Amino acid sequence: MKKGLTVYRFFDDHEEKHYILSSFEHQQLEELLEQYKKKREKVFATAFIKFLHKHDPEAEEVTVKDFYI
């Protein structure tokens, strides 16, 4: 069975909201974020997503829009 992708809401150190699409589980993302933080003073979404993409080639930032019927 193919593993699905999940969209995560992510706030960086600019306190801006971003959405990241990833094949990783929540715990895996938390661990990678901790690794990333150890080498940097601040976390910025674009740089973190590039870092994440090295570990998860399916990771990317996505735009989320409201949809009403």
* Domain range for 45: 6-62
Q: Which two tokens stand for residue 49?
A: 């997503």
Domain count, the chain: 1
Strand order in the sheet with 6-11: 6-11, 17-22, 60-62
Does residue 56 belong to any structural domain of this protein? yes
Task: For residue 53, count other CB atoms closer than 10 A to its CB.
Answer: 15
Does residue 69 belong to any structural domain of this protein? no
Does residue 67 belong to any structural domain of this protein? no
- At residue 53, the pLDDT reads 92
Local confidence pLDDT in tens for the 69 residues of the chain: 457 899 999 898 988 999 999 999 999 999 999 999 998 989 998 999 999 999 999 999 999 998 898
- At residue 1, the pLDDT reads 47
Q: Alpha-carbon distance 60 to 46, whole Å?
A: 10
- At residue 2, the pLDDT reads 56
